[in-house]
Amino acid sequence: MIGVEFVYILMGLMMAGIAVVNLRDRSSPKRFNNAAFWGLYAVTFIAGPHLPNFVDGLIVIAMVAIMAIGKLRGAPPESATREEREASARRFGNWLFVPALTIPGVALLGTFGFKYLTIHGAPLIDPKQSTLIALGVATVVALVVGMILIRPPIRAPIIEARRLMDAVSWAAVLPQMLAALGTMFVLSGIGPIVAGLVDRWIPLNTPFSAVFAYAVGMALFTAIMGNAFAAFPVMTAGIGLPLIVHRFGGDVVIMAAVGMLSGYTGTLITPMAANFNIVPAALLELPDQNGVIKVQVPTAFFLLAANITIMYLFVYHR
């Protein structure tokens, strides 16, 4: 059975390739740092699950040390000039969209179609991870389509991947690091501590104040953790169930659904949700790492108000 490890090995090979391109780039003053950073990252993808957890932890710390002490070099210059790209765009026309749209197309096909691929009745592709594997397969198919269409030198994809990856730089690793931080928060009992503080210091003696505290608490705690999934159990066990549902007789479905969405408004305003906020800022080469967050703050504020209103209007009257 093809499992998700297959996708991680592809990731590892790509990172290793990016490390090699960096290493061979004599024009880069930081080529050894960049090569070591992406090389160690490649090791975590390919060998990570087989190494002791302690060694994995040390590898990650080494990556951070390389970045903090040695510094990384950002994106190298574009490999084609604007004139070349415009000429090429005229030549290929709308065919250029085909490989780009192959990614979502094949990803969809795989998500729904993989379950029909069986060998002697056993699924060929791990059904629990089909979305992730489909995405991995889709990128490979799109690359093949792109190579056939454009016919670039064989090295071009990895050189271009290096250009984009070095533009994103350390931010690429941040989502995983935040997941590690979240695990550490759980391990150290942060959730109950925060719920206890809220219970002790905020008076919650009316149905409205309970709704308000729950929704705002979801948003703020999500902003701290960077993830509504981490905030939901804490706030729901601390405020939602005991107060809104049990004391004031609110509806559990409405509370939970709108509560989770209140958490999502917190996701919009926090650098801790790196893959939605910090990574795109790096990917779009914005000078301000908080550029995306700043644009999202007004939407988040009005939506939190909308969530409080929706929850208060319906949760007690159903």
Out of 16, 19, 125, 172, point to the residue binding another protein (CB under 8 A).
172
**Is residue 202 within 8 Å of 191, Cβ to Cβ?**
no
Out of 20, 109, 147, 202, the residue judged to bind another protein by CB under 8 A: 147
Q: Is 249 in the site for another protein (CB under 8 A)?
A: no
**Is 146 an interacting residue with respect to another protein (CB under 8 A)?**
yes
Specify the 3-state DSSP secondary structure of 250: coil
Question: Which of 113, 115, 164, 208 forms a contact with another protein (CB under 8 A)?
Answer: 164
Q: Does the protein bind another protein through residue 55 (CB under 8 A)?
A: yes
- Closer to another protein by Cβ: residue 121 or 273: 273
Selected from 1, 74, 79, 206, the binder of another protein by CB under 8 A is 79
Q: Is 233 helix (H, G, I), strand (E, B) or coil?
A: helix
Neighbours of 153 (CB within 10 A): 7
- Kindly determine how many residues on this chain lie close enough to bind another protein according to the rule CB under 8 A: 138
Work out the widest C-alpha separation in the chain, in whole angstroms.
69
The three-class DSSP label of residue 122 is: strand
Please tell me whether residue 104 binds another protein under the rule CB under 8 A.
yes
Q: Is 132 in the site for another protein (CB under 8 A)?
A: yes
Q: How far is the CB of 316 from another protein (least distance, A)?
A: 14
Q: Is 75 in the site for another protein (CB under 8 A)?
A: no
Q: Is 258 in the site for another protein (CB under 8 A)?
A: yes
* Site membership for another protein, residue 92 (CB under 8 A): yes
Question: Taking CB under 8 A as the rule, does residue 9 contact another protein?
Answer: no
Closer CB to another protein, 120 or 262, in the complex: 262
Contact 28, 76 (CB under 8 A): yes
Number of H helices, E strands in the chain: 14, 2
* 168 close to 174: Cβ distance less than 8 angstroms: no
Instruction: Compute the least distance from the CB of residue 34 to another protein, in Å.
Output: 15
Decide: is 81 part of the binding site for another protein (CB under 8 A).
no
What letters, b where the CB count within 10 A reaches 16 and e where it falls short, cover 133-147? bbbbbbbebbeebbe
Cβ neighbours around 168 below 10 Å, total: 20
Closest among 193, 189, 191 to 218, alpha carbons compared: 191
Q: Which of 74, 193, 209, 249 binds another protein (CB under 8 A)?
A: 193
Q: In the complex with another protein, which residue's Cβ is closer, 61 or 124? A: 61
Residue closer to another protein, measured from CB, 121 or 207: 207
In this structure, the number of other CB atoms found within 10 A of the CB of residue 305 comes to 12
Q: Contact, 228 vs 184, CB < 8 A?
A: no
Based on the shown chain and the rule CB under 8 A, indicate whether residue 241 belongs to the binding site for another protein.
Answer: yes
Task: Pick the closer one to another protein by CB: 36 or 274.
Answer: 274
Report if residue 21 touches another protein, rule: CB under 8 A: no
Output the smallest distance, CB 120 to another protein, in A: 28
Is residue 269 involved in binding another protein (CB under 8 A)? no
Paired strand residues for 118: 123
- Comparing CA positions, the residue from 110, 98, 305, 101 lying closest to residue 216 is 305
Instruction: Specify whether the CB–CB gap between 66 and 33 falls below 8 A.
Output: yes
* Binding to another protein, residues 272-301 (CB under 8 A): 272, 274-281, 283-284, 286-289, 291-292, 294-296, 298-299
